[in-house]
Amino acid sequence: AQKITQTQPGMFVQEKEAVTLDCTYDTSDPSYGLFWYKQPSSGEMIFLIYQGSYDQQNATEGRYSLNFQKARKSANLVISASQLGDSAMYFCAMRDYRDDKIIFGKGTRLHILP
């Protein structure tokens, strides 16, 4: 069965430092997609970045990059030069080709300190 694990319930990071949020996943399907979403205190879910299982290169979107290690089944989100506005809950999610679901991890709450 599919599973997403985020082992860091909360993190505190100094402003301007880089942040790595951990995500490991489990699926038996060779075709899948991995997503990261940000949920600020206002509650909305904001899509950040996508990585496909067949993508050769790690995905990047501005200050966000995804450190994709397929053999280890990990898809860590890296935020470079963190900002106060990055304080939020972050969810890792997965969708595979066969299943009809997007499943989510339990989230990591990131606090950026001034």
Partner 1 sequence: EAQVTQNPRYLITVTGKKLTVTCSQNMNHEYMSWYRQDPGLGLRQIYYSMNVEVTDKGDVPEGYKVSRKEKRNFPLILESPSPNQTSLYFCASSLYVGMNTEAFFGQGTRLTVV
- Binding stretches for partner 1 (CB under 8 A): 6, 9, 31-33, 35, 37, 43-45, 47, 50, 52-53, 91, 93, 95-97, 100-107
Rounded distance between C-alpha atoms, residue 75 and residue 34, angstroms = 7
CB of 26 vs partner 1, minimal distance in Å: 15
Nearer of residues 20 and 33 to partner 1, judged by Cβ: 33
CB of 31 vs partner 1, minimal distance in Å: 6
DSSP string, 7-51: --SEEEEETTS-EEE--EEE-S-S-EEEEEEEE-TT---EEEEEE
Asked if 24 contacts 74 with a C-beta cutoff of 8 angstroms, the reply is yes
Nearer of residues 68 and 91 to partner 1, judged by Cβ: 91
CB of 77 vs partner 1, minimal distance in Å: 14
Nearer of residues 27 and 82 to partner 1, judged by Cβ: 27
Rounded distance between C-alpha atoms, residue 31 and residue 70, angstroms = 12
CB of 57 vs partner 1, minimal distance in Å: 15
What DSSP element (H or E) covers 98?
A: none
